Structure 1
Amino acid sequence: MNNDRNSVLIHENQETVWNAITNDEIISKWYAPGSKWNIPKLQVGEKAIFVLMPSAHNNLKENESIPMSFTIQEIIPYERFSYSSDTDKLVFTFEIFPESEGTRVSINMDGYELSLANLKACLEGKELPYT
């Protein structure tokens, strides 16, 4: 996997990284902190809900939120997690690859540099750079 802006090397094992991108409690810590993920069942075809809350990185006002619904499309444990937006059908795919110094995580979308930086910090025990 190449070193581009859509990927990050995390100094952790694949299992830890996998849990961070598929466990709703952990995702809620690093992905748009202050917002909430709910993944009731990690299974293809199941729904996941994300509620975006106001932050310095969006234009939402206090007490405003945007609920979003997603459908899980693909699960290959410790390798790939994919879901699609129920609104616009965009497919988001996280892939994880072992490397000599840890695990590389990539996403198929542009604009996720801040989220990937937060994921890295979260798993490496550092303060999140983007809250």
Structure 2
Amino acid sequence: MEQITVVREAVVPLQRFALRWELGSPDHAMVTTFLLAEENGGTRVTITETGYETREQAKPTEEGYAMSLENLKAHLEGRRLPY
């Protein structure tokens, strides 16, 4: 089983939160960043993740975040979570 270490990279309350995922060693890492920005009376959430070698490696994570954001939107709107 591969060891994963998670390090908090940055925290700027209500603006930015970033995690560094070290996959076996610090040389093989991914960084996930969540950015929040006020926009048109609401909040825009932008998620980026770096460290993938190919687009194919990122695809399952992309799909997972899309579902997570749909759940977040449904929660904020008071609806049943779709996933």
Percent of aligned pairs with the same amino acid: 39
Deviation at 1:68, TM superposition (A): 5.1
Alignment of 1:1-131 (within 5 A): 69-87=5-23, 88-109=28-49, 111=62, 112-130=65-83
Q: 1:69 to 1:122 in 2, by over 3 A?
A: farther
Q: 5+ unaligned residues in a row in structure 2: which ranges?
A: 50-57
Q: Any unmatched runs of 5+ in structure 1? A: 1-66
**Larger proportion of strand:** 2
Residues paired across the two proteins, number: 64
Q: Which amino acid aligns with 1:116?
A: L
Look at both structures and tell me which one has the larger radius of gyration over its CA atoms: 2
TM-score by structure 1 length?
Answer: 0.44
Structure 1 runs, 4 residues or longer, greater than 2 Å off? none
- Name the TM-score, length of structure 2 as normaliser: 0.66
Q: Deviations over 1:5-41 (max 9, x none)?
A: xxxxxxxxxxxxxxxxxxxxxxxxxxxxxxxxxxxxx
